[in-house]
Structures are given as structure tokens and as C-alpha cells.
Amino acid sequence: MPDRLGVARRLRASRGYWAANLLLDLARGRDRRHAALLRLRAPAGLFQPFGTTWPDRYAEIFADLSARLASVDAVRILSFGCSTGEEVAALRQHLPEADITGIDISPERIAICRATLPQAMAGRTRFEVGDSVCDEPDAHYDAVLAKAVFRHWRLNKPTVRNNTLLAFDRFEREVTEMARIVRPGGFLLLRHSNFRFCDTAVFAGFETLADAKCATPLFAPSGARLPDQTREAILFRKR
């Protein structure tokens, strides 16, 4: 009897399968097409191509964050990896007077953000194409958020014991830049990442405030898969 599982694995690993899957995603349209275009361009700052999002995905987290920012005047927030803008709109519901910046690596998604932005929000909302926050000013934001950005969907497989898809150094470099633009006393929110913020050097300048159910596999800086955890630290305050 042929090794059907082995044949299937070899097929999925082949260039032809990859190309056919890419063409199918281009034809499907919507975010599948946006993700396929990112895979074709392969920009240097790309972690994962998918922009999966929906309204109120992080309702409890945003409610908690807005309560912590209630006493802050002229709140400034940056959402990194904002996809097509649903999460920025949800943030706006909790913090209607805040200045909110959304950044995403996909020009197509940012075009959707701008096209669907209600006129009433235009004065306090900015959308930019980018793969980093390196151009943002020091200590400028009261909160910086990156949710389901620093991850790769292939690492979700339980059989993956070593991460060869994402480099921890890249993650550390990006979150160090994010830490730079958070004001003292401000917040950094990281959710659904394949790496832990506590493994970075910049973590020493923060305190952990909240955690949440862990639904994303975690990997050590070496690439080794960490034991499955029930909770992950997600909200940090800059000292």
C-alpha cells in the first residue's frame, strides 16, 4: 500500500502545489488575494500575510485598555498590523476622542481602511502603509498595539517542534521599536504572537498588567517550541 500521507506531504511541499495554491488565493479575492499579493512581493518586514479580522474581536481587551486610559488627556494610540480597519473602528468606539494611527504592510488593506473610514473619524484617524514603526517619534503614544502580527500560521501545527520560519531577532527588533514610541506610563499590547515579550531585553523596562487565554504556540529565542501554556501575558506598562 502506498504511503498516502507521505505522498500528500511531498505534494504540499512541491513548487507546483505552492504556485497553484497562490493562484487560487488570487482568484478568491478579498483578504485571500491581499495575502497572496504579500506572499508574491515577500517584503522584508513581513511576518505573516493574512489579515484575518472582524469587528469586536478584542472587545474585552479594548474595554480594559480604555478604562486604564480614562484619566489621560488627548490619548494617542497606534495599531500595528491594522488590517482592513475593523479593530481601529472598535478602538474608536471605546475611545471616541483618541487620535488613532493604523499601520499595515499591505497597500490594498490600507486602501480599504481609507475608503471605509467614516468622515466623522477622519480628523482623528490616520492610516499608513508600513512594515515598522521606526519613523514614529519617541515616547509619542499612550498605547501601541500589535495583535496576531508576530506569528506564522504554519507554526500552529502541533507537529512543529522547532521554529525555522520566523526569527526571534526580527521580533525583538520590532517590539524594541514599539517600546521606544510608548511614553513612560503608557501601554504595549501584544496578542497572539509566537514569541514572548518577556524574552526580549527591552522587557526589563516594563511591568506586566494582564494576561489572556493562550491560543498561539510559543517558541523560545532558540526556535524550540515551548510547552503549551494556558495563559499568555498581553498587556505591559512602561516604567
pLDDT of residue 48: 82
Pairing assessment for the beta strands 125-129 and 99-104 based on DSSP bridges: parallel
pLDDT digits (tens, 9 = 90+) for 173-227: 999 999 999 999 999 999 999 999 999 999 999 999 999 999 999 999 999 999 9
- Domain 59-238 superfamily per CATH: Vaccinia Virus protein VP39 (3.40.50.150)
Domain-wise residue ranges, the chain = 4-41, 59-238
Give the ranges where 76-187 is alpha helix by DSSP (H).
86-94, 107-116, 168-181
pTM of the model: 0.86
User: pLDDT-derived band of residue 35, with 50, 70 and 90 as boundaries?
Assistant: confident
- What pLDDT, in 10s, does the model give residues 101-136? 999 999 999 999 999 988 767 889 999 999 999 999
Region 160-173: what's the mean pLDDT? 96
In order, the DSSP letters of 132-145 are: -STTSPTT-EEEEE
Q: Does residue 11 carry a pLDDT above 80?
A: no
What mean pLDDT comes out for the span 224-231? 96
Q: What is the pLDDT of residue 34?
A: 77
